[in-house]
Structure 1
Amino acid sequence: MRYAIIRIEPNLEADLLDMGAAFVDALETGGYQGEVFTFETPATLFQAITPKRWELLDRLQGKAAMSIRELAKQLGRDVKNVHTDVSRLLDIGLLERDGTGRVFSPFAEIRTEFTLKGEGQPIAA
């Protein structure tokens, strides 16, 4: 089962350390660690994954691949706008295309991790 983790991490160094630790753990245990999509700020996350894109992801979650036209029809949206949103989600890696060009969500589950803390305050482990 593939799953995605969407994370806000303003500290690039901390994010790289976390990814390095996950990589070492995966090497040692052979366990799948999920696929992580990191954004530096809430603003960058919500710029990339707008409410309409969240809705699109939700619609595709656990469903068979479909054409952009069919997806637009199901969402009651303009095909051009859905195409733009699908393109952005493909660029991010949250959607994929099958051999016929239809789009799908490759993840059985998408998790989000948001930690807000005051500047200079350590995060409790």
Structure 2
Amino acid sequence: MNEVTIGVISLKDASERFITAWETGQPQGAHIGFESEEQLWKTLTLKRWQILKAMTGAGELTIREVARRVDRDVKAVHGDVKAMLLCGLLDKTDRGKVIFPYDAVHVDFVLRAA
């Protein structure tokens, strides 16, 4: 299964993952990291989560098809897709379609006492 972990990761931890992969030659798994919980939730709004859910395991899709799957206006979905492309959550294919190239999503972060 092609799974990605979306979570909060410090620059130090991200660097350690990179160094481990570099030194061992072993993949560390797909990971999309955010600096903070606030940044994660600001970027991944409820409507964007719905888009990710509709796109998980679906392959290449047009924005119009994504909008149909989430039952939203194409223009609004286009704005959300653009934001997700900019932060690396989605990819654009050579054919101009969008893809979330994973079959499963694992969300990981720890909430600590202030």
Work out whether the TM-score is over 0.5.
yes
In structure 1, list runs of 5 or more residues that go unmatched.
10-14, 120-125
1:31 Cα deviation after fit? 1.5
Matched-pair contact (CA < 8 Å) for 2:63–2:77: yes
Q: Percent identity?
A: 34
With structure 2 as the length reference, what TM-score do the two structures score?
Answer: 0.86
Of residues 97-106 and 110-119 in structure 1, the stretch that sits farther from structure 2 once superposed is 110-119
Structure 2 counterpart of 1:24: 19
Q: Give the number of aligned pairs.
A: 113
Q: Which protein has the larger Cα radius of gyration, Structure 1 or Structure 2?
A: 1
Q: Does 1:35 align with 2:10?
A: no
The 1:39/1:89 distance shift into structure 2, 3 A limit, reads same
* Counterpart AA for 1:115: V
Say if 2:95 is the partner of 1:96: no
TM-score w.r.t. the length of structure 1 is 0.79
Show structure 2 runs of 5+ residues with no match: none
- Residues of 1 paired with 2:85 and 2:111: CA distance? 28
Q: 1:2, 1:107 within 8 Å by CA — same for their partners in 2?
A: yes
